[in-house]
Amino acid sequence: MDGIVQSYDAPHANLFPLSNYTFNLKSPRIEKDKSVAERFERMKRMYDEQGRLNSVEGVLIVHQHNHPHVLLLRIGTTFYKLPGGRLKPGEDDISGLKRKLNNKLAPEGQELDWEIGDLMCNFWRPHFDQTQLPYMPPHVTKPKECRKIFFVHMPENADIYVPRNLNLIAVPIFELFENSRCYGPLIATIPLLLGRFNFNYIPPPSI
């Protein structure tokens, strides 16, 4: 009705200090593609076999001195990505994301207590190239991939195990903002996607 202002309850999330977590190494996860061209060729083969590809990725956040930091996987020195990956045919988003997070970050043969939160955004890949859009272009009837980005509530503490050929780094959100040159256009949008969240900064445990 005119004149009535409706309130909006922003999602809340507890952020725990980075010092609550220990970081260890485990067996490497071999990358399936040696180049971007090989990656797109493999995507084409998979698309021909099963249709549109579906991927899920998680935004995992901790804090340092009450400032949010996003956990990113770094391959080599210049390529960054969110933890996650491609779903198996028929696999649901939540189960698939938990599987991928455990594959990338849990101890060998174990599972961590991941709580999958809000869907933050869908990104669509219209063609077999690097273009990814947060909307479906009207002329595209058969997108090649849908990437879903979820907020993931971190456990209060955990032993995290990272494949030894990858690096897990905590990047402050001010470093990501509009920094597509370094982190790519998708990761550079994360600070904007987080703008609707209210964060509760949990202090480090008393010694």
pTM for this entry: 0.94
What band does 5 get if pLDDT is binned at 50, 70 and 90?
Answer: low
Name the burial class of residue 202, with classes exposed (0-12), middle (13-18) and buried (19+) by CB atoms within 10 angstroms of its CB: middle
First to last CA, the chain: 54
Query: Cα torsion at 187, 19, 56, 27 (round to 10°)?
Result: 110
Model pLDDT, residue 3 = 63
Q: How far apart are CA 51 and CA 73, in angstroms?
A: 28
- Nearest residue to 25 (alpha-carbon basis) of 162, 158, 168: 162
Residues 6+ apart with CB under 8 A from 6: none
Residues 6+ apart with CB under 8 A from 162: 23, 24, 25, 26, 73, 104, 105, 168
Q: What is the pLDDT of residues 46-59, one digit of tens each?
A: 999 999 999 999 99
Q: What is the pLDDT of residues 111-148, one digit of tens each?
A: 999 999 999 999 999 999 999 999 999 999 999 999 99
Q: How far apart are CA 184 and CA 76, in angstroms?
A: 15
CB 93 within 8 A of CB 120: no
